[in-house]
Amino acid sequence: MHTKPLLAAASAAAILLLAGCASLTDGLHDVHTEAFVDREAADAGWVGVAMPDWLPADATEIRTTATNDETNAVIAITSDDGPVGCEMAPRVSLPFDGRYGGIDAGDGLPEEVLRCGAYEVVATADGWLGWFTATEPGQTPDDV
């Protein structure tokens, strides 16, 4: 019996299924998710609102999830460079979705964050996590 090829095929299928789960459930939660290999690809394919200016030029592995009405968004990137055009400010909100950082009730988030235009941004082990939370009904990052 050849169990190794069977296990390898089953593992590959499981990985593909899990990778697609977020996309399958996004419609149920009224969100959309995109992933881009680098900033150039993100600039060409960003969905919903303008791509945030704070993304560093060397940003890779860009992952974003936003509500379909764009009133909440979370972005995770890999980068050695810091976000562009930001200032330290008190944190005023939490990411609406923890899929890029496992953040529950603000655990692990500093009281001060980088304020990058409409986004709050914090450093992660391999880059940056940013989020936008509307403060008025219907507000999007483009409105701030």
At 79-89, the pLDDT tens digits run 999 999 999 99
Instruction: Please name every residue paired with 90 in a beta bridge, in sequence order, or none if there are none.
Output: 112
pLDDT score for 98: 87
Query: What is the share, in percent, of the chain residues with pLDDT greater than 90?
Result: 65
Instruction: State the pTM of this model.
Output: 0.80
79, exposed or middle or buried, with CB in 10 Å at 0-12, 13-18, 19+? buried
32, exposed or middle or buried, with CB in 10 Å at 0-12, 13-18, 19+? middle
At 93-143, the pLDDT tens digits run 999 988 887 565 566 788 999 999 999 999 998 999 999 999 999 999 999
